[in-house]
Structure 1
């Protein structure tokens, strides 16, 4: 079984200090990519080979026994397009091949977990990086890229300021001596906007054309899924991209007291709690809810419900053990 990805925790300032290296935070689908057998694995452990035929072909040009960590991205019109990744996410095999020609994606590698089938996660990042550089120096398919890395914080600041317009979300800081800790938040991310995830539990209006989304999170004490907020009204484009991901649960949820929309949650149609969306949370909270409506960013079909933080946390807590 392939190891879980290592994660990053948010920080309010760019970390500095001896032994740190910096990489861009790419706006794409976090992915592990393996060779012989070729496999493309989402952050939620779903095998997604069918969606990325150009990456499958590219990975087959590499030596066997590799497992890389990285991000699937799509460059369109001079910037990173998350919408293109969403289109691919729901595509069948034939449509995926068409999109591979029209909107080709790239796998940007930033870590190496196995070489020749041997686990190297306990080796320092500097060693794993050198092995990646050696791999990419030998020539590679154009759909495969190696992420940039620098040990200069001023260069990292230039990336942070200068690359946001093309879709770079921020900077990830890592220890050059650090081992790869699967499932742990051992890296630090310095982002332009602090976002988080929630589960869609209802749709204001109709499921087929939602006016807004009602959001849920697991209670950290009971494990029960409960309503914690709702989004601002969705734009027509947001409705169109979100509606196909929602499945009606057959329930109609009545209004409940809150401060949303003048004191009540609008009646909403329940949906099966399986769709994850990215949001910008409200800073004000009350009674275990975001006190005001939150800003919807986009669907996150690449994430599973288990990846969503509990309560009102911005990040999922590090597993115990």
Structure 2
């Protein structure tokens, strides 16, 4: 099952709330052979051998789980570690399994000892899942948090952003499990902050999207993100403020896109003088916001020196 975004948190007696973990979605099944399957249908067994072994040794035969593969690095979720693992060959993946072990956060039980549970309501599936984890002792498999209390869910929402939790997943406990359907809801964290416009896709005089930057501690302007496609009104507002840049611009003339495609990103560099207010989520890869951000408004009252450094959300007044 999948989730669709909502702008307000639903409240009511039938709703259940879970943290939205920043990881790789995974169906883990122990059949004649144990398998870890990605959302795309590809196999993850070789890349996450420690989780494959955990499922094989700890889960009853003919049982299937739905969950999220995550990597904890200190006190924060580390999505970059998952990307390293996903790109590794078999030998390097085995080494990374020792150096950067991962966990499978399980939030649904699809099949139990040969019995298909997908036609049972979430309340029943969750009860069976909690009974399974009551005796499970495998540390690599974790029962995902869930609550009916919207107040507690909002505390998770506020307090867990600092560790990389993207928001909340909201589920109707009366619903069956319908693969491929967006019957779940996602309430994602959207905070506003500022960034510097360093490029325009494709032309400064009619920008379809903006490439955004932030200065690092050393004073170098780094690429930090990309906006979603701008509305006609946003294009008309920002285009007169953009000026094409020369070869002294610190960014390359073309970019390998990091926002959902392997194609080269055709864009034009602009003078990094315009500041905009944006809405990023909590997803970070390296020194960039992983997902395209929403443009809120142009900030002509601010200069690049007013913009936070790195990916900080607030300017340090000290």
> Structures share a fold, TM > 0.5?
yes
2:281 matched to 1:281? no
Residue of structure 1 in register with 2:194 after alignment: none
Whether 1:45 and 2:41 are equivalent positions in the alignment is yes
Match of 1:122 in 2: 119
1:165-185 CA deviation, whole Å, 9 max, x = no partner? Answer: 112111111111111121111
CA 1:213–1:105: 2 relative to 1, 3 Å: farther
Partner of 1:229: 209
Matched, 1:35 2:30: yes
**SS in structure 2 of the partner of residue 279 of structure 1:** coil
Q: Which runs of 5+ in 1 are unaligned?
A: 1-5, 195-210, 216-226, 243-257, 285-296, 298-321
Q: For residues 216-236 of structure 1, what are the alpha-carbon distances to aligned partners after superposition, in whole Å with 9 as ceiling and x for unaligned?
A: xxxxxxxxxxx9535324889
> How far, CA to CA, are the matches of 1:127 and 1:44 in structure 2?
27
1:269 to 1:161, Cα distance in 2 relative to 1, 3 A: closer
The whole-number CA distance in structure 2 between the counterparts of 1:123 and 1:23 is 19
1:54 equivalent among 50, 54, 69:
50
The structure having more radius of gyration, on CA atoms, is: 2
Deviation for aligned residue 1:283: 5.2
Render the CA deviation track for 1:292-316: whole Å, top value 9, x for unaligned: xxxxx9xxxxxxxxxxxxxxxxxxx
Classify the secondary structure of the residue corresponding to 1:282: strand
Aligned residue for 2:153, secondary structure, equals helix
Conserved? CA contact 2:27–2:38, under 8 Å:
yes
Which residue of structure 2 lines up, in the alignment, with residue 143 of structure 1?
140
- Aligned-residue RMSD, C-alpha: 3.6
In structure 2, C-alpha distance between the alignment counterparts of 1:191 and 1:260, rounded to whole Å: 32
Q: 1:41 to 1:238 in 2, by over 3 A?
A: farther
Unaligned runs of 5+ in 2: 192-197, 226-237, 247-251, 264-289, 298-310, 312-318
How many pairs align? 242
Partner of 1:3: none
1:319 is matched with none
Q: Tell me, in whole angstroms, the C-alpha distance in 1 between the residues paired with 2:28 and 2:200.
A: 33
Displacement, 1:265? 11
1:150-199 Cα distance to aligned partner (Å, 9 max, x none): 111111111111111112111111111111121111111111138xxxxx
CA distance in 1 between counterparts of 2:23 and 2:153 reads 19
The equivalent residue for 2:179 is 182
Query: Are the counterparts in 2 of residues 212 and 234 from structure 1 also a CA contact under 8 Å?
Result: no
The aligned counterpart of 1:22 is 17
* Alpha-carbon distance in 1 for matches of 2:40, 2:168: 23
Structure 1 residues 11 and 260, CA gap change in structure 2 (3 angstroms) = farther
What is the TM-score of this pair, normalised by structure 1?
0.65
1:92-113 Cα deviation digits (max 9, x unpaired): 1111111111111000010111
Task: Quickly say closer, same or farther: Cα 1:25–1:270, change in 2 above 3 A.
Answer: closer
Give the conservation status (yes or no) of the 8 Å contact 1:49–1:56: yes
Q: 1:160 to 1:119 in 2, by over 3 A?
A: same
- Which residue of the other structure, out of 150, 155, 178, is the alignment partner of 1:153? 150
Partner of 1:221: none
1 CA distance for matches of 2:160 and 2:106? 18
SS in 2 for 1:275: coil
**Residues 119 and 155 of structure 1: is their aligned pair in 2 closer, same or farther, counting only changes over 3 Å?**
same
Contact between 2:213 and 2:222, CA under 8 Å: does it hold in 1?
no
